[in-house]
Amino acid sequence: MSESGSLAPRRATAEMVARRANVSRVAVSRAFNPHTSLKPEKRALILKVAQELNYTPDRAARALVSGRSHLVGIIVPDVCSHWESQEIDALTTALQNEGFATLLFKTRTDYSMDERLLAYMRGFNPDSVIAFVENVKPTTLARVLDRAVPIYIHYARPGEEAPPPADGPLFDRLNVLQRTGVEQAVALLQGYGVKRIAYVSGVAKSRANVAREAMLREVLADRGMAPPIVAPGDFSYDKAYAATIDLFRIGKGVDAIFAANDVGAFGAIDALRHELVLRVPEDVKVVGFDDIAQSHWKSYNLTTVKFDLNERVRALVRLILRRLADPTAPSLQETLQTSLVVRGTVG
Amino acid sequence: MSESGSLAPRRATAEMVARRANVSRVAVSRAFNPHTSLKPEKRALILKVAQELNYTPDRAARALVSGRSHLVGIIVPDVCSHWESQEIDALTTALQNEGFATLLFKTRTDYSMDERLLAYMRGFNPDSVIAFVENVKPTTLARVLDRAVPIYIHYARPGEEAPPPADGPLFDRLNVLQRTGVEQAVALLQGYGVKRIAYVSGVAKSRANVAREAMLREVLADRGMAPPIVAPGDFSYDKAYAATIDLFRIGKGVDAIFAANDVGAFGAIDALRHELVLRVPEDVKVVGFDDIAQSHWKSYNLTTVKFDLNERVRALVRLILRRLADPTAPSLQETLQTSLVVRGTVG
């Protein structure tokens, strides 16, 4: 691949636009920044002239001058996992409205991180980086990123809701408090006389999974119920399907299944109905986690612990804007609650 | 938001890395480019020294010099639509391996395009742009993009497989030939004695939808069957669910439903089973389009016309690399076939 840029036509400059529109050079800059105030007619005129002259500000040049790239890096293990794709979609819309584009970086499917990927990410000089994976440690990201203060999604284990220690590397955090939703789900199951609960897990290494299981364990103990029987899954439909069959064919079965995510709950429901010929909810009740768009589909109609996607996206955008406004502030926090959505798989 | 970059620590330079690793400046560049050949030990040494010195090439600076941004823009209406999210996921992995990052740009949900979004996209100076939406015309993109030759996914209508005219704006094209898959599906349905077929459509404006319906219409005519009854959908589960109910409650029902996409087929199946209390496939047969990962889930187990996702991603990557190797070549083409995947909803 040659590295010649000689074919690019000559760009119009901001000065040319300012002259033609009879405005200042500063007004042209402001017209392209959704955050600056400018009279709507003036902005419309400048954008019109810019279009006639085929002008847009070059962000590579601007990035060198301003230190801003207007890029937000998102590190994900798998874009097409249902929850993440819905979140990235909503986040891209919200960030676009704030003048940022989203850059996707994928880790390997085994959640491991390629050092070259980190170097590569740094090369784009993102203004912010959101880590949807837990295996990339804040110390690693702090070493690799020039300016961006990374944002982590923190699924607190019981007793772990406190802010991170001030002496470590600087990072910001969205705390997802799972207790309320789990408590509501267990209370509902207990109200229907459930005694034996299985937890169909997510990927063992995932902090979300570990925190979810620990929270379930704590809530069951607090309510005087037996600890969950753990059926190992990996957040996928297929693994949850197989784990559910093992629960009944190898194990002694359960009254209810708590799945680490909705897709796992779908796998459990299909295994119960199509392979084990059991009825949901009459014979076995099922609860999921996430409330993805598919949860209301009639084949599943799933009772699930909900994260509010829009609240979550707003909290992430707030973290980015707060951090850019004050790059040296101590660790910033936002908090998100969960709650139960009751549909047809319990009752 | 202040625009100060003064907090960034001073970057190590390529010269510093070259000196410390006792290699040439050119070797340092090559070490960070996955496309250049370099002895593995030498690359490993350079990357190790670079890490010790906290060095990575700054792509904003490189972009100004080389004219390359290493960014591929993807214009999508909705990331979380099932097919697109799976494609973006696979494409991000493939492009990352070739040294590119993917930048997402979302159009409005009504498929309309914000002129400011186009200006914004241009500002990032992408090396390539893939349009997953049809409402952004090649003439518009050609006007807006400096260097990138846009790639369109072309769902040819019957008789429309020819390359685009040479006198229009330059764009490259992935031709998706839907005929084979549709023919196989219709032959299978006909073999099972189906007479009345409904087409549960996608968004009316979508070219994929228009081409799919036209192809179905042509294949039915060629095989001496009646034209399809069109039930208006929009690629969503909910709309297909409602349209299917109308087909039977307002209309006279059908023997088979051909849905414009898999998610629509899921909506049709659930409406048939849960609302109309009809059996699939005994009473009504259902065929989808796409073969998304959920199609094999036991609640659906859908017979569907498949695009091979990996082949499709490889074809898109080839188009990007071929175009970058020869920026002035006439319109480039890649072609993709479809075929039927037979599961449980026909038979």
CATH of the domain at A37: 1.10.260.40
Q: Please confirm whether the linkage preceding B227 is cis (ω < 30° from 0).
A: no
- Do B301 and B183 belong to one domain? yes
Is residue A343 situated within a structural domain? Answer: no
- Do A225 and A238 belong to one domain? yes
Which of B79, B125, B294 faces A89 most closely, judged by CB atoms?
B79
Asked if B102 and B131 touch (Cβ cutoff 8 Å), the reply is no
Q: Which alpha helices (DSSP H) does chain B contain, by range?
A: 14-21, 25-31, 40-52, 59-66, 82-97, 115-123, 138-144, 179-191, 207-222, 237-249, 262-270, 309-325
What residues of B are in contact with residue A144 (Cβ under 8 Å)?
56
CB-CB neighbours of A101 under 10 Å: 25
- Do B155 and B100 belong to one domain? yes
Contact yes or no for A328 and B56 at CB 8 A? no
Q: What does the pLDDT read at residue B207? A: 83
- Do A243 and A190 belong to one domain? yes
- Do A80 and A168 belong to one domain? yes
What residues of A are in contact with residue B236 (Cβ under 8 Å)?
none
Half-sphere exposure at residue B192, Cβ-oriented, CA atoms within 13 angstroms: 19
Cβ neighbors of A233 (< 8 A, separation 6 or more) are A200, A201, A202, A239, A240, A243, A259, A260, A264, A267
Is residue B346 situated within a structural domain? Answer: no
Is residue B227 situated within a structural domain? Answer: yes
Domain end marker among B57, B82, B109: B57
The verdict on A44 touching B (C-beta cutoff 8 Å) is no
SS3 assignment, position B287: strand
Which of B3, B116, B241 faces A47 most closely, judged by CB atoms?
B116
- DSSP character at residue A221: H
- Do B46 and B125 belong to one domain? no
- Do A303 and A321 belong to one domain? no
> What is the rounded CA–CA span in Å between residue A13 and residue A30?
15
Q: What does the pLDDT read at residue B40? A: 80
pLDDT in tens, chain B (347 residues): 333 333 334 557 788 889 999 998 888 877 776 556 788 888 888 888 887 787 766 665 566 556 678 899 998 876 557 777 888 889 998 998 888 889 988 876 565 666 667 777 777 889 999 998 777 788 888 877 878 999 999 888 877 766 667 778 899 999 999 999 999 999 999 999 999 999 999 988 888 899 999 999 999 999 999 999 999 999 999 999 999 999 999 999 999 999 999 999 999 999 999 999 999 999 999 999 999 989 999 999 999 999 889 999 999 999 999 999 999 999 999 999 999 999 999 98
Q: What does the pLDDT read at residue B20? A: 92
Contact yes or no for A106 and B92 at CB 8 A? yes
What residues of B are in contact with residue A267 (Cβ under 8 Å)?
297
Q: Closest approach of chain B CAs to the CA of A325, in angstroms? A: 5
Contact yes or no for A101 and B103 at CB 8 A? yes
- Do B41 and B100 belong to one domain? no
Return the structure tokens found at B174.
Answer: 């992935």
Q: What does the pLDDT read at residue B61? A: 58
- Do A260 and A233 belong to one domain? yes
* A301 or A47: which leads in pLDDT: A301
- Do A289 and A140 belong to one domain? no
Taking phi over 0 as left and psi of -120 to 50 as alpha, with beta for the rest, A50 belongs to alpha
Element holding A333 (H helix, E strand): strand A333-341
pTM metric for this prediction? 0.81
Is residue A183 situated within a structural domain? Answer: yes
Q: What percent of chain A has pLDDT over 90?
A: 54
What domain range includes position A327?
71-174+309-334
Specify the range with the lowest mean pLDDT, choosing from A146-150, A264-268, B33-37, B276-280.
Answer: B33-37
Is residue A9 situated within a structural domain? Answer: no
Is residue A269 situated within a structural domain? Answer: yes
- Do B248 and B154 belong to one domain? no
> With DSSP H G I counted as helix, E B as strand and the rest as coil, what are the percentages for chain A, rounded to 5?
40, 15, 40
CATH of the domain at A183: 3.40.50.2300
pLDDT digits (tens, 9 = 90+) for A52-67: 787 766 665 566 556 6
Is residue B340 situated within a structural domain? Answer: no
- Do B186 and B219 belong to one domain? yes
Asked if A208 and A177 touch (Cβ cutoff 8 Å), the reply is no
Is residue A214 situated within a structural domain? Answer: yes
Contacts made by residues A226-231, CB under 8 angstroms, sequence distance 24+:
A226/A195, A226/A196, A226/A197, A228/A197, A228/A198, A228/A199, A228/A258, A229/A196, A229/A197, A229/A198, A229/A199, A229/A254, A230/A198, A230/A199, A230/A201, A231/A198, A231/A199, A231/A200, A231/A201, A231/A257
Q: Chain-centre distance of CA B113, in angstroms?
A: 18
Asked if B185 and B340 touch (Cβ cutoff 8 Å), the reply is yes
Domains of chain B: total? 3
ipTM of the complex: 0.78
Contact yes or no for B64 and A64 at CB 8 A? yes
